[in-house]
Every structure is written in C-alpha cells, then in structure tokens.
Amino acid sequence: MPRCCRGGLVGLALVLWTRAAAAQSQPGSAAGQPPPGEPAYPVITLGTLTYLQYDAEVKNRGGFNAFDVTRAYININADLWRNVKFRLTPDLRRTSDGSLNGSLVFRLKYGFIEFDELTPRSWLRIGLHQTPWLDFEESINRYRVQGTMFAEREAIIPGSGDFGIGYLARFPSDWGELNVGVYNGEGFTRSEANTFKSVQGRITVRPFPKASLAKGFRLSGFFNMGWYDKGLPRHHAILMGSFEAPHVVATVQWLTATERPAASVVRDFARHGFSAFVEGRQGMEGWAGFLRFDHLDPDEAVPSDRTRRTIAGVAYWLKWGKVRVGFVVDDEDVRYGAARRRPDENRFLAQTHIQF
C-alpha cells in the first residue's frame, strides 16, 4: 500500500478513536454508563427484507416454472454509542457446491461500523457496505423485488455492496448529497484479486428544494474509476434524472462504461445504454402500476448486439407500523440482437415483498 494511503488510514483511525473517546468521557458516562437521557447501549433491533417469487417462463425455456425465495435479509442493527452504529446482514444464495448443490445458504451481504456526524449531516462507513449508486436507485424504484436495477442487471456494477470505506454528506436545506468511497471493486460476492481498487462517487442535487411540486426532481451523477488489473480499466458513469411525488415516480438514466476484464482481451469494450422507469400509484399504500424499459449496447464495436428489456406490472402495497408488504405481478420481455446469438425471453412473475 502506498505510504500516503497508510498515513491517511492512520490519521483516520486517530480521528475516530478521539471522537469515540470524547463521547465516552461526557458527563454521566463514568464507569461505562450513558449520559443522562441516553439509552442503555447497545440498542439492538432485528428486521427482515424477504422476496418470495413464482416464475413461469413463457418463451424459449420449455415452460419452466418455479417457486423461489430470491432475497432473505436478516438485518441486525445496533446503536453502540451515540453516533456509532453497527450493521450485520446475512442473505440467501443458491449454491452449486458439492453436497449442498441447489440448496439455499446464507452469506454475508453487509457488515460495517458507521460513525455519524463527524461533519454535520454525515456518516462514515467502514467494512462491507452499500456502494454509492445501487442502494440510492433502489430507494427511488421500490421494485427491487422484480429484479436488479439496470446497471446490476447488465453486470456493469457487481452488486450493491462491497468491502471498503465510504462517506456521505447531506447538503444544507435539502439541496442534495455527496457519497464517495474506496472499495475493492469486486463486489460482495468475491474477494480482492490484487492491489487495485475502485474509487466511486455520487452527487445528487435537488434544484428546487422549497417548491411544492418541483422539489421532487433530482439530478444525480455517478462515477466508478476502477481497474481489473494494471492496464485493465473498469470505468463507469451514470447520469440520472428522477422525480418523486405522492402519485408518480419516474427515472431516466444514461450509462456508459469502458472495460477490459482480462489481460487476454485484446481491446477495451465500450458499452452504453439507457433505462427509463415510471410508476403511477395511489400512494405508498394501495394500487400501483409500473413500466420499465432498458436498452444496452454491450460492445459498440459489434453491430446488432443490443439487449432490450421491457417490464410491465401492477402491485398492491400495504403498510402498518414498520411493516411493509407488496404483492407484485409483472411480465418481463427480453429481446437480443442477432449478434448475441441468444433466444429471446419472456416470463410471468408473481412476487411478494415483505419488510419489517
């Protein structure tokens, strides 16, 4: 590791240690007791986010159909001290290893410590945590139960979590936020392969924070400057406009990427695409309808290799207390360009989102 990086990490550790020591030395915290008015730490909460699914393949898969569990978070959140938090989240995956072939097993999705208010309206996370883009997009598009977002679905971003350090700061008066971090770059499903890292960042601006309706509009930009290995770029950029109102949610995004995943590949791949999503709804509860369209050119040097995905569905959402349940029925149609040499796909999906 370069000397400057080691020095920066040592400095960061000293700052965090100083802040933690200062918090514990406040009046009333002698002998490990919290200050007056503070809860008895740690404060631990449990929750889950689970997706249940029935998938019926309508085209080119011989009528295959299956019931499945596609997500099963067990969220363990702890307030360790004032402005110091911890999260541990295992999730399900279907394994193909040995005697467990086909079984659902747990693997770690998130595991990190969080320091709040190091600067006003901010947090700092260290460990396996959310990277700047996908978690943000999923906070706008609530249909992750249907499937992954555009950049993850097309294997541009390798999952919503990664090992690293991230910082988020919210601008005053709800003008937006900045989220940056340094990560391994391999996602949460793989270990680090070499010394190269991924520098990622997102800036979101709300141009009209005081307007009654226009405050729902935000403009967001994302970048990933990473490398698979020396001379093998993994560079991504996304620009997205989003709008949120009580009865309408919409996003439009443009994506570009330059990648060379292995030394055996003789050139860089230039990829680009766009995605649009719209939801009309009664509100956070009740009936809703949604439509999404993705278009990706996975290699600009190859003609007729585009992928087009159309998703249309209806949903009914329930909410009481901290419980949220959504019933979703949708049709997903995927068309491949001739150069992809893959049969088109069409599937019917009935899905349930359960969160508390």
How does residue 1 score in pLDDT terms, banded at 50, 70 and 90?
very low
pLDDT of residue 38: 87
The C-alpha R_g of the chain, in whole angstroms, comes to 22
% of the chain exceeding 70 in pLDDT:
90
Calculate mean pLDDT across residues 330-348.
96
Mean pLDDT, the chain, integer = 91
Summarised one tens digit per residue, pLDDT across range 179-232 is 999 999 999 988 898 999 999 999 999 999 999 999 999 999 999 999 999 999
pLDDT of residue 103: 84
* β-pairing verdict for 122-130 and 161-170: antiparallel
How does residue 19 score in pLDDT terms, banded at 50, 70 and 90?
low
pLDDT of residue 104: 87
Amino acid making up residue 208: F
pLDDT of residue 25 exceeding 70:
no
pLDDT of residue 36 exceeding 90:
no
pLDDT of residue 254 exceeding 50:
yes
How does residue 2 score in pLDDT terms, banded at 50, 70 and 90?
very low
How distant, in Å, are the alpha carbons of 52, 65, 129, 312 from that of 347?
Answer: 16, 9, 32, 11
Summarised one tens digit per residue, pLDDT across range 107-162 is 999 999 999 999 999 999 999 999 999 999 999 999 999 999 999 999 999 999 99
Greater model confidence, 104 or 87: 87
Calculate mean pLDDT across residues 5-31.
49
pLDDT of residue 66: 95
How does residue 32 score in pLDDT terms, banded at 50, 70 and 90?
low
Domains in the chain (CATH in brackets) are 47-355 (2.40.160.10)
pLDDT of residue 61 exceeding 50:
yes
Tell the burial category of 242 from Cβ atoms under 10 Å away from its Cβ (0-12, 13-18, 19+): buried
Query: What is the C-alpha separation between 147 and 140, in angstroms, rounded?
Result: 14
pLDDT of residue 245: 97
Summarised one tens digit per residue, pLDDT across range 295-309 is 999 999 999 999 999
Calculate mean pLDDT across residues 63-76.
95
Query: What is the C-alpha separation between 188 and 166, in angstroms, rounded?
Result: 15
pLDDT of residue 9: 47
| 0.85 exceeded by pTM | yes
Closest CA to 352 of 333, 324, 332: 324
